[in-house]
Structure 1
């Protein structure tokens, strides 16, 4: 009997060692009141409740202005965020912030760098038309003690070289920071479709979570442009994971709608990682 109990205890310890993390990336469309029925004032409660419903443990946002960050911060008290505005390193301009559930995760390190030739400088890079940033953090699961890095970015929508160099810069930064070889996840609106060289580069260095998920669900694309009458086939939003440390249990593109409208011009991507 003692041997059986010991064996059961060992099995329980082994099975409870590996925690699952529910992660999301979401371009929430910057706040403005010039989009008619798609303006932020019409969307803010809807998109907040959508995130609350899915309850990600951690999620990266793109295009978020400080008013949107503050609204999420107020409406979702279980979450804190890391990140700064891209225009001045404080509150001006769009964030690529990372929100995390403080009941489950603790942030150990965090910072933001700019996607340009000198990442500590606040400026545009290469042929980009806007300054772009990447926010990152090292997180620890409070229950299991497992640690992982999360990088979240929004690539330029015009500069071809900027997108190519941004992909290289972020991967080099990952290698520079990840001296303990923890699992890494990269999320973001990369403004690139899967066949492009930069996505192929990242797919070689890391793994597109969708391609290795045990279960994949939802539309092929992620960009809907608030156009409810057309299929969503353009994929711009990604979750990449390092080749070690993560098992991708599920990958979903969430196409929730209400009254023939989407909550953002991008669909969120959610993964369950183990």
Structure 2
């Protein structure tokens, strides 16, 4: 199975030029079975032309879609859809269950409220042939390392409840040596560290100097390959892993 994680920067490239079709092209060329996206707009604002980006990408790519808002705001005009921003999971396989968990966050919409519990940690249970898996994706705080560590602990609490093999992806806003990434590695395998090709740097495009986008997997999952997709489209490069996931029998908690 190929899994891709991609911070799409609301469909804009590193020069802030909106081109959602370029994001589609990058995903299509990757030929991934499961795609997780961060920084996704849904009728959000003029910056993304009020498009439901996850739904559009899913339709164009022929993939099933689930969207997990972090923010859900009233529309600018009565009768229009709610303005939402968050993360998404796209899958070629059936998504048999979906949850949008809460983590501790500082809202960019209400920073004066400080740390609060907000949604935006999606979990998709995916049925792929003879196996099921939990796919989580996240976008951790960019401003506060202590908050990221708290978020990592909260994510692991959800992941420890998983019945099937786990894949955790996302923009962690943290380098591999950081305490928050080490906390995740206490429970899950860093796919790039296991089978990575190249230096793994993902941000900023076009000359990245930091590895902050990751794919992690539980112990039942075998990592075959992991690499950065050096295809421009966002201000991040995507990360893709090729994984082997066992059939359902004999599976326990990660």
Which TM-score applies when normalising by structure 1? 0.74
Q: Shift of the alpha carbon at 1:74?
A: 3.0
5 Å-filtered alignment, 1:208-247, equals: 208-213=190-195, 216-224=196-204, 226=205, 228=206, 230=207, 232-243=208-219, 245-247=220-222
| The one of 122, 133, 144 aligned to 1:135 | 122
Structure 1 residue 152 corresponds to structure 2 residue 137: yes
1:254 to 209, 217, 229: 229
Q: 2-side partners of 1:31 and 1:49: how far apart?
A: 12
Aligned length: 225
Where structure 1 has 5 or more consecutive residues not aligned to the other structure, the ranges are 1-20, 118-122, 257-261
Q: Which has the higher helix share?
A: 1
Q: Is the 8 A contact 1:130 1:156 kept in 2?
A: no
SS of the counterpart of 1:187?
strand
Residue 199 of structure 1: aligned partner = 181
Q: In structure 1, the residue corresponding to 2:211 is in which secondary structure? A: coil
Greater strand proportion: 2
Once the two structures are superposed, what CA deviation does each residue of 1:124-162 show, in whole Å capped at 9, x if it has no partner?
A: 8x95599562111111113xx111110001111112232
Rounded to whole Å, the distance in 1 between the matches of 2:88 and 2:237 is 17
Provide TM-score, normalisation by structure 2: 0.80
User: In the alignment, which residue of structure 2 is the partner of 1:25?
Assistant: 5
Structure 2: which 5+ residue stretches go unaligned?
43-50, 74-80, 245-254
8 Å contact from structure 1 (residues 83, 111) kept in 2: no
> 1:85: how far off?
1.9
Spell out the pairing of 1:67-216 with structure 2 (5 A cutoff): 67=51, 68-76=53-61, 78-88=62-72, 92-101=83-92, 105-116=93-104, 133-142=120-129, 145-176=130-161, 178=162, 180=163, 182-213=164-195, 216=196
1:115/1:166 contact within 8 Å kept: yes
Query: Alignment partner of 1:150: what SS?
Result: strand
Larger radius of gyration: 1
> Are the equivalent residues in 2 in contact too, given 1:128–1:159 (CA < 8 A)?
no
Q: CA deviation at 1:193?
A: 0.8
Structure having greater relative contact order (Cα 8 Å, sep ≥ 6): 2
CA distance in 2, matches of 1:31, 1:38: 9
Q: 1:128 to 1:267 in 2, by over 3 A?
A: farther
Give the Å deviation of 1:183: 0.9
Could you tell me which residue of structure 2 aligns to residue 62 of structure 1? 38
